[in-house]
Amino acid sequence: MAGEEREPLGVVGAGWVGLVTAACFAELGHEVVVRDIAPGRIAALERGESPIHEPGLGEALARNRQRLRYTEDLGELLEAARIAFVCVGTPSTPEGDTDLSAVWHVLDELDSPEEGLVLVMKSTVPVGTGERIRARFDALGLAGVGYVSNPEFLSEGTALLDVTSPDRVVIGAFADEDGRRVAAVYEPLGAPIVHTDVASAEMIKLASNAALATRISFINEIANVCELVGADVQEVARGIGLDRRLGPHFLRAGIGFGGSCFPKDASALKQLAANSGYHFQLLSAVIEVNELQKRRIIQKLQAHLGPLRDRTIALLGLAYKPHTNDMREAPSLVIAPRLLAEGAVVRAWDPVALDEARAVLGGVVFAETLHDAVNDADAAVIVTEWPELLELVSSDVRDAMRTPLIVDGRNLLDPAAARAAGFTYEAIGRPLALVPHPPRAKEPARGLL
């Protein structure tokens, strides 16, 4: 793309979505001005430090240093760019609604934007937000300022690839011309572009995340039934996934979904429906299944160890998924306090998120190495499927543990290999080979025939 003239762009909010988007737009040849108000963040970016752990991001920011400018001043961004992508955080309120205060803060700052500016909403917002913002612009006499909903579908850990090779780009606009201007930014990517109305674009984002979360809770419930009836959920998922109508994705059973998106967006859609007079029963079940799934780890440990008081449990992998240092809604944040409440000693380890975990996980002992975490432990629990944890299956680890018990919350390991190495191995939705079958009764009990 180098050498081609491309429109300067603005990105408001240097979080996961903002920074990755800015790096990718710069890679496409745009000058990009990135604005953030978090103390120290702009200075760190100017020093060449990426505040988040995302594979390839640091390199992409460095490679495009000439095209990227960082500022705390929204005015500087608006002077340079006529298209501004809003990528600020929209967390949950305690009631499960969406907290839009960061979005409104940006709008409050836009006191006299020039005609021709297009504000592009990438932050995940409830359906109807665009309509409210349009009404506000119109009331202020800013009919010439455009508004476009352009939800983001990137996943942490593969964010750069997701942005540069998207399955689709969704563009919801009030005015076709605004939609076309934003679409032009994405055209070099060659992805299908879904032009639609603003409310539908907003709903596509929430519904996509809800559908993915539903698949995860579905396969987790199948896993729980597999445990009762002796089937293996990995085999079941493989068999389901080959049906082209269903596909193989998001059928990995485990201890449930976390992160800054699925829990928040599932709850936001449920609340949006409720606020509009509809009880979204399926989504309520999806959320409840996910909460219960994390807690199954405790029952599995108790089944092998009995009461957990004074038992040392190694919690392995603390970030909500591998290849990120993001602790938001990580299952470890539920499992660790539950173990502490049972009186266990919790040793926690993660290859990249230790500092972030220290800030939010109280009462646990942090181990600097995997070996320190498992040494003398009564059980090792795989909470996040970091590839480093494949090393668990070794005679060194087995000998270092007080009880060689692995509870694999992500079905990362090969059960046969783990058992062959001398571990008691328990996973999610897989046959429990080492729990002896109850002796077969000589005669069927009366009343069961």
Mind telling me the catalytic residues?
Answer: 261
Min separation Cβ 273 and ligand UGA, Å: 18
Which of 64, 71, 150, 209 touches ligand UGA by CB under 6 A? 209
Site track 106-125 with ligand UGA (rule: CB under 6 A), x = hit: ------------------x-
DSSP string, 405-425: EEEETT--S-HHHHHHTT-EE
Burial of 199 (0-12, 13-18, 19+ CB in 10 A): middle
Q: Which is nearer to ligand UGA, 252 or 270 (CB)?
A: 252
Q: Which is nearer to ligand UGA, 126 or 259 (CB)?
A: 259
Question: How many CB atoms are closer than 10 A to CB 396?
Answer: 11
Which of 252, 270, 294, 296 touches ligand UGA by CB under 6 A? 252
Min separation Cβ 426 and ligand UGA, Å: 18
Residues 417-436 that bind ligand UGA (CB under 6 A): none
Which of 11, 12, 110, 212 touches ligand UGA by CB under 6 A? 212
Min separation Cβ 251 and ligand UGA, Å: 6
Q: Show the tokens assigned to 315.
A: 């919690």
To the nearest 10°, the Cα dihedral for 105, 111, 117, 122? 0
Site track 136-155 with ligand UGA (rule: CB under 6 A), x = hit: ----------------xxxx
Min separation Cβ 138 and ligand UGA, Å: 29
CA 88/CA 20 separation, integer angstroms: 13
Min separation Cβ 263 and ligand UGA, Å: 9
Question: How many CB atoms are closer than 10 A to CB 43?
Answer: 11
Q: Which is nearer to ligand UGA, 156 or 202 (CB)?
A: 156
Which of 257, 280, 349, 386 touches ligand UGA by CB under 6 A? 257
156 binds ligand UGA (CB under 6 A): yes
- Give residue 429's Cα distance to chain centre: 23
Residue span binding ligand UGA (CB under 6 A) among the ranges 177-185, 208-216, 342-350, 432-440: 208-216
Which of 106, 236, 251, 286 touches ligand UGA by CB under 6 A? 251
What are the Cα distances from residue 387, in Å, to 321, 350, 427?
11, 11, 16
Stretch (H or E) spanning 386: none
Nearest residue to 6 (alpha-carbon basis) of 22, 27, 30, 23:
30
Residues 329-388 that bind ligand UGA (CB under 6 A): none
Nearest residue to 159 (alpha-carbon basis) of 258, 41, 328, 16:
16
Asked if residue 305 lies in contact with residue 378, where contact means CB atoms within 8 angstroms, the answer is: yes
Residues 262-301 that bind ligand UGA (CB under 6 A): 262, 265
Residue span binding ligand UGA (CB under 6 A) among the ranges 45-53, 80-88, 251-259, 365-373: 251-259
Residue span binding ligand UGA (CB under 6 A) among the ranges 104-112, 254-262, 307-315, 411-419: 254-262
87 binds ligand UGA (CB under 6 A): no
Amino acid type, 430: R
Say how many residues touch ligand UGA, by CB under 6 A: 21
What's the chain's Rg over C-alpha atoms?
25
Asked if residue 326 lies in contact with residue 259, where contact means CB atoms within 8 angstroms, the answer is: yes
CA 333/CA 258 separation, integer angstroms: 10
Min separation Cβ 361 and ligand UGA, Å: 17
Min separation Cβ 64 and ligand UGA, Å: 22
Q: Show the tokens assigned to 201.
A: 């674009």
Min separation Cβ 411 and ligand UGA, Å: 10
Helix residue spans in 97-193 (DSSP H): 101-109, 129-139, 159-164, 176-186
Residues that bind ligand UGA (CB under 6 A): 124, 152-156, 209, 212, 216, 250-252, 254, 257-259, 261-262, 265, 320-321
